Structure 1
Amino acid sequence: MDTTQLLKGVLDVAVLAVLRAEDGYGYDIVRRLRDAGLGDVGDASVYGTLRRLYAAGSLSSYVVPSDGGPHRKYYALNAQGRSALETQTTTWLDFAGAMSRLLVDDRAGASTNGENR
């Protein structure tokens, strides 16, 4: 299954979830998403998502000077972002549960019908 299409549908909630634990700058957020198992996430997609979430009012930002290079723009979850994360988490858990039931039920039905997968 091509996970890139799935990722597009959940990237907003994934970014919000990463920022729930700790503020982060662009590449740090990309790394944390990849470390969490979303290896197909693209840099440009995450940066676009950060800009969109910021423009929508779900994130705040601040700049931190860097000794070894350019300043870094950090993003933080604000009250609106926490509310959005809570809503999207409920939606995701309901959806994932329904899909899991479909997939598990399909497997169980196939094995009881003598079909091989």
Structure 2
Amino acid sequence: MAKPDTKRRADLLQGTLDMLILKTLTAGQMHGYAIARSIQQSSQDALVVEEGSLYPALHRMARRGLIEHEWGLSESNRRAKYYKLTGAGRKQLKADTERWSSFSAAIGLILNPPAVQA
């Protein structure tokens, strides 16, 4: 029997992974493992991006022109694809961030409704 996870981890809402990857790449080019690690560290281990989700997202985003890659050597001296943001990716991140802010504000209103004035 598998041991239950002692830390509760949040599931990513559909579409948020792309936004998180774009935001992570604003720090500069990174290989896939570094992107996943950065998201995990930035979220204080609440978000763990598995390879099975990360690499299809990176390939999809590259096809859409949001990111591009070049080959380089990782810290462990292995060949790796380094991804970087494109101009289209920066525009998409801005739009996604605005949409996410509106969405989370709306959810906040439902979870914490403003006090009714008498």
- Unaligned segments of structure 2, at least 5 residues: 1-7
Tell me the residue number matched to 1:57: 65
Distance in 2 between the 1:21 and 1:68 partners? 21
Displacement after TM superposition at 1:9 (Å): 2.9
**Which piece of structure 1 moves more, 30-39 or 53-62?**
30-39
Percent of counterpart pairs with the same letter?
Answer: 29
C-alpha change, 1:102 and 1:67, in structure 2 (3 Å) is: closer
| Aligned residue-pair number | 107
Aligned equivalents of 1:67, 1:39: Cα separation in 2: 23
Structure 1 residues 99 and 31 mapped into 2: Cα distance closer, same or farther (>3 Å)? same
Comparing 65-74 with 48-57, which one deviates more in the overlay? 65-74
Match of 2:19 in 1: 13
Matches within 5 A, 1:4-83: 4=11, 6=13, 8-37=14-43, 38-66=46-74, 68-83=76-91
The answer to which structure has the higher helix fraction is: 1
**TM-score, structure 1 normalization:** 0.80
CA RMSD between the two structures: 2.3
Is structure 2 residue 88 aligned with structure 1 residue 104? no
Deviation at 1:105, TM superposition (A): 1.1
Does residue 3 in structure 1 map to residue 13 in structure 2?
A: no
Q: Take 2:80 and 2:69, find their aligned partners in 1: how far apart are those partners?
A: 10
Separation of aligned partners in 2, 1:56 and 1:16? 13
Higher deviation after alignment, 72-81 or 39-48: 39-48
- In structure 1, C-alpha distance between the alignment counterparts of 2:76 and 2:101, rounded to whole Å: 41
Instruction: In structure 1, list runs of 5 or more residues that go unmatched.
Output: 110-117
Q: How many angstroms apart in 2 are the aligned matches of 1:26 and 1:67?
A: 12
Residue 87 in 1 paired to residue 95 in 2?
A: yes
Aligned to 1:3, what secondary structure does the other structure show? coil
Seen in structure 2, the aligned counterparts of structure 1 residues 75 and 39 have a Cα distance that, compared at 3 Å, is: same
